[in-house]
Amino acid sequence: MSEVEKLLRDEAEHAETHQDAPAGTQTTVSRPGHARSTVYSVRLNPDEVTALQEYAENAGLPASTLVRSWIIERLRVNGATPDLRKIIHDEVQAAVRDALQQTA
């Protein structure tokens, strides 16, 4: 197992066991989607609402988060938005690299 894989595993284990702990003083809290300001209303019949809510519950997500992720994914597939997964991957990789350099 590489140093990066070990660090990621250790961090994941720590996060899982301390998920309700308050953020530390060195922690930067941000809400990346908080800047969203436009709301769209979508009409669904009762059966569609029930199906959406059941799907979201099974996925462990709020229905609005699920719907938003579907819209963003569709936009990404059609080339209308950047690949958020790649952006997140690159940011995590850079953070891990920086952390490893600081510990070295």
8 Å CB contact between 53 and 66? no
What is the average pLDDT across 38-42? 85
Can you give the residue ranges of every domain in the chain? 43-104
Predicted pLDDT of residue 47: 93
Q: How far apart are CA 53 and CA 45, in angstroms?
A: 12
- Work out the percent of the chain whose per-residue pLDDT is above 90: 16
Q: Which of 96, 90, 94 is nearest to 11 (CA)?
A: 96
Helix (H), strand (E) at residue 101: helix 84-103
Q: What are 50-86's pLDDT values in tens digits? A: 999 999 999 888 898 889 888 888 887 787 766 767 7
